[in-house]
Amino acid sequence: MNNFIKVLTLVLLTHVEILGQGNIDKLSFEKAMVEVGGDKAFIIIGEAHEVGGTYELENYVISEKAKEGYQSILYEGGVSEATLINWYLESGDVSVLNYTRARGKNYREFLKSIRHDSLGIRFKGIDFERGVCLEYLFASLFGNLKNTQIDAFINKLKEIDSKTSPNKIKNILLSAKSEYYKNEDLIKEVMGQGSKVIKQILDNPVFQADFGISSKKRDIGILKNLLEIPNEDLSKSILIIGSNHITNEKHFWKAFSNQKKEEIEGVVILLAYKNCTNYIRRKKYDSSKPLINYLEEYDSTEKSIKFKVIRNKQMGLLNEENKLIIAELRNQ
């Protein structure tokens, strides 16, 4: 075997390992999307974080929709984290991911797959900011700025690091926001394009300090962020978020669908798991109610991911027939 073939074989093997799409029933996905009218619709994926098969499924859906011109992944993270992920997608610099959720292996491989398969896709943060992301982002944006007229503003933001408490992060950002709007023209002049992402961070209404990582109150801020996105952009976007945000009526989804159902079409894909590996707890995982109720009852040890369409009038879906897609993941 010559060197070229050896290298090509290694690349192909690595690609298959990253994507892991061999057990996805792609025909069932295509049929389900046709049945629910998934063409040019806002796609909402409800997942369980770090459960086997999740990222493989999501990468497949993203790559298919990217071919149709979808441009954005609405991300359960802050503006700062989404910005760092986009830097990676643009540059390929994996070191940036050490300051994001992708410092872990599984999410990192997921992002590598997106970069390989879905050129042009970018992330948009809709959740709270994390100190580790802010620290790295601010160090990058402010690194070459010295003896400026906005040093006090810069130094305030640079107080945030990975160990800063949620309460202190909130106080610093709110104080900096006040300073930003007092000196917006000057900050834009000094920072150029960097001022845009700073403004987006300071305008983000979601703060971990207000509610820890509890979903009920946090979703008020997530809802505000989603409602700020133009309908035209939503129709080219994929929202990936914990399924509890969609199945629990006290979270953002019902309020969002009530406000948007006359304006846009949407397709909800809820992931339901049976005997799948939970990489956080290192044990097997089954979905809880109501998702487990949507799984067909049969015993199998084979890995499989398939899609089916159901109706649910209570969930507030963004199509006239109240249809949603259940993605069944087994033995992942």
Is 15 among the domain residues?
Answer: no
- 140 and 239 in one domain? no
- 118 and 264 in one domain? yes
Domain boundary among 157, 184, 203: 203
- 215 and 177 in one domain? no
Alpha-carbon distance 111 to 18, whole Å? 10
Q: What is the pLDDT of residues 102-137, one digit of tens each?
A: 998 999 999 999 999 998 999 999 999 999 999 999
Alpha-carbon distance 203 to 216, whole Å? 21
- 259 and 182 in one domain? no
What CATH number corresponds to the domain at position 311? 3.40.50
- 115 and 28 in one domain? yes
pLDDT at 194 over 50: yes
Is 90 among the domain residues?
Answer: yes
DSSP string of 106-151?
HHHHHHHHHHHH-TT-EEEE-S---HHHHHHHHHHHHTT--S-TTH
- 61 and 102 in one domain? yes
pLDDT at 321 over 80: yes
Q: What is the pLDDT of residues 261-319, one digit of tens each?
A: 999 999 999 999 999 999 988 899 999 999 999 998 888 899 999 999 999 988 888 98
Q: What is the pLDDT of residues 32-48, one digit of tens each?
A: 999 998 788 999 999 99
- 106 and 158 in one domain? no
Domain boundary among 203, 224, 253: 203
Alpha-carbon distance 218 to 211, whole Å? 6
> Position of tokens 């084979």?
302
Is 10 among the domain residues?
Answer: no
Is 298 among the domain residues?
Answer: yes
Q: Do 91 and 140 meet the contact criterion of CB atoms below 8 Å apart?
A: no
- 90 and 46 in one domain? yes
pLDDT at 240 over 90: yes
pLDDT at 15 over 90: no
- 216 and 88 in one domain? yes
- 215 and 88 in one domain? yes
Beta bridge partners of 310: 324
- 166 and 143 in one domain? yes
Is 13 among the domain residues?
Answer: no
Is the model more confident about 200 or about 39? 200
Q: Do 138 and 157 meet the contact criterion of CB atoms below 8 Å apart?
A: yes
Closest to 327 measured CA to CA, from 8, 20, 24: 24
pLDDT at 38: 77
The total domain count for the chain is 2
- 107 and 74 in one domain? yes
pLDDT at 13 over 60: no
The pair of structure tokens assigned to 294 is 């949507």
Where do the H-state alpha helices sit in 266-319? none
Is 145 among the domain residues?
Answer: yes
Per the structure, the complete domain to which residue 146 belongs is given by 131-203
Is the model more confident about 88 or about 146? 88
The pair of structure tokens assigned to 329 is 């993941």
Alpha-carbon distance 175 to 200, whole Å? 15
Q: Whole-prediction pTM value?
A: 0.91
pLDDT at 1 over 80: no
Is 105 among the domain residues?
Answer: yes
pLDDT at 21: 64
Q: Do 224 and 205 meet the contact criterion of CB atoms below 8 Å apart?
A: yes
Domain boundary among 203, 227, 246: 203
Is 9 among the domain residues?
Answer: no
- Categorize the per-residue pLDDT at 7 as very low, low, confident or very high, splitting at 50, 70 and 90: very low
What integer is the mean pLDDT of 40-59?
96
In the chain, the percentage of residues whose pLDDT exceeds 70 is 93
